[in-house]
Amino acid sequence: MRSDRVEKGKSKYPMVENDLLEFIDGLQVRVSQCIPSVALYSCYNREGNIFRADLSYRKNVWRDWVVINWFRDGQLPNRIYGFLDLRSLPANLTRSNRINYGGLENIKPAIYAIVEATVDG
């Protein structure tokens, strides 16, 4: 895990859900030939908009909310769990080497947000 914040005020042991760790571990196995270590980042700056998902901000979890258009399912609020930098993946993997994981098929080089969607109930 990599945070852009200084360590002052951080919890000694970041609070990370087992599901999140298992997801990242499984992804690491899938991309290990291309990316030796997948890091979970706590911050992403996109065109001046800063999104945060810090696991130990003032000894608590901080997760921004975003509204994502899932097209078929409409626009839903999502909690950000972190960001993965997969830009080192090869752009043109053959069909047998394509990376499919976590509901995504043929993962391309990019920065990805791990989010949890909510639904109106």
Contacts of residue 100, defined as CB under 8 A and 6 or more positions apart, other chains included, come to 30, 106, 107
Pairing of strands 43-46, 75-85: unpaired
pLDDT score at 18 = 82
63 vs 4, more confident? 63
Using pLDDT thresholds of 50, 70 and 90, give the confidence band for residue 6: low
pLDDT tens digits, one per residue of 67-101: 999 898 889 999 999 999 999 998 888 888 889 99
Rounded percentage of the chain residues whose pLDDT exceeds 70: 84
Nearest to 4 by CA among 42, 60, 48, 46: 42
Locate the domains of the chain by residue range. 18-117
d(CA 100, CA 1): 23
Query: Whole-number mean pLDDT of the chain?
Result: 83
